[in-house]
Structure 1
Amino acid sequence: MEPFIRNDQYNFIRDQIQVLVNGHTSVNDREVLSALKSLVLEKSINLFSDIKSEQLIMLNRLGDIHRKEQAGEYLTQLKQFVIPFKEISLNSLKKLWPKVKKLKMPPLDDLCLKETSYLGWDDAGSQKKYILVYQDSKPIGLQGHFTPSHKKGICAICNKLEVVGMFLTEKKGVAEGTFTKRGNYICHDSAKCNQNLTSLKKLTEFVTLCK
């Protein structure tokens, strides 16, 4: 079976499985547990608009999970079917940011491509953060000044409470010589942000606003 699950969809299913495990830990009523199982299955399966029979069989198995150990085993198996983030070269990155003379490659050694919906990395020297995301299979590059806040706030990308910083972009205005600045608080740790993502909605909105 070919990979068919995005990272954000995997994270959503992971969270739904946790809901199911918590239910079996705290509830004894069979009818309640049956309703919870049906809801979790419905939400997870509805992530996919065109699902194949073998994929459906795989997803239906999550309804049999009762314990934490079962959840771990199932998620390990499910991870095999996650679509990895597309690898990219330094030359490809330079095409996205042609005016950046000393563009640094993101730290890819410890990066798990199956846990990545977007690529984000910092350049401490220029106090900038670079973000790479694919939309309709096309790479989109964003850059902005990044100022860590060292405080927790709601991230504009994953919509979770994390340590954030201000990502500030600047675009040319309609009138000559004018500029429009837009700022968003986003996760300081992009890897953690990717683990939090359970939908691409906020990420898409963020990219649309910044590009």
Structure 2
Amino acid sequence: MEPFIRSEQYNFIKSQTQILINGHATANDKDVIKTLKTVAKERVLSLFSDLSEEQKQLLDPVDTIKDPAQAEVFLLQIKPFVIPFKEVTEKTIKKLFPKAKKLKAPLLENIDLREISYLGWDDVGSGKKFIIAPHHTKLTGLHGTIKPANKKGICAICSRFEEVGMFMSETKGTVQGTFIKKGNYICLDSMKCNQNVTTLDKMTDLIERLK
């Protein structure tokens, strides 16, 4: 069976297992537990529009999870079927960021590509943050300066309360040759942000605002 689960879908499934764990730990009413199980399974299966019988069998046990040990086993079973992020090469970098002449591709050796929905890194040379993310079936690039907010806030990508920075980027203005600066608070730690992403909707919104 080929990988069919995207990284953010895996994170969403993981969040549903945590809801079930919390429910079993705190709820005594059997009807409440039954509802939690039904809703969790429906939410997980509804992530996918056309599941094969084999894929469905892989995901079906989600509603049997009661504790962290069971969740860990289940998540380990489905992780091999998570689609890894597309390989990013120097050629990809040059295509997405043609004006960033000396920009190097980030080191990916220590990154499990199944655990990222987008690639974000800070370039020391330029002092900018670069983001590569999927958009309409292909990769697109964003770049801008980022200044730590020195406090926690809601990230524009993952919608979680994390240590954020102001990501300031330029977009073309309505008059030729002019640019407009736009700022958004995003996670300073892109790996942490990736762990929080359960939908790409906010990333899509960010890309469309800045492109």
Normalised by the length of structure 1, the TM-score is: 0.96
Structure 1 letter corresponding to 2:51 = I
Deviations 1:110-166 (A, max 9, x none): 211001110000012322000001223322111111112221100000000000011
Superposition map of 1:159-178 within 5 A: 159-178=159-178
Quote the Cα distance in structure 2 between the aligned partners of 1:113 and 1:176. 39
Structure-2 residue corresponding to 1:156: 156
Alignment pair present for 1:69 and 2:69: yes
Deviations 1:184-205 (A, max 9, x none): 0000000011100011110100
Alignment pair present for 1:17 and 2:17: yes
Structure 2 letter corresponding to 1:56 = K
Structure-2 residue corresponding to 1:191: 191
* Moved >4 Å (runs of 4+): none
Q: Shift of the alpha carbon at 1:105? A: 1.6
Structure-2 residue corresponding to 1:145: 145
- Structure 2: segments with no counterpart, 5+ residues: none
Quote the Cα distance in structure 2 between the aligned partners of 1:6 and 1:159. 18
- Structure 1: segments with no counterpart, 5+ residues: none
Question: Does the CA contact (< 8 Å) of 2:129 and 2:146 recur in 1?
Answer: yes
Structure 1 letter corresponding to 2:40 = V
Structure-1 residue corresponding to 2:136: 136
Q: Shift of the alpha carbon at 1:210? A: 1.2
Q: Shift of the alpha carbon at 1:177? A: 4.1
Matched residues, number: 211
Give the SS at the match of 1:101.
coil
Q: Which has the higher mean CA deviation after the structures are superposed, 159-168 or 173-182?
A: 173-182
Question: Does the CA contact (< 8 Å) of 1:165 and 1:188 recur in 2?
Answer: yes
Quote the Cα distance in structure 1 between the aligned partners of 2:23 and 2:172. 52
Structure 2 letter corresponding to 1:204 = T
Superposition map of 1:37-48 within 5 A: 37-48=37-48
Structure-1 residue corresponding to 2:123: 123
Structure-2 residue corresponding to 1:96: 96
Question: Does the CA contact (< 8 Å) of 1:127 and 1:147 recur in 2?
Answer: no
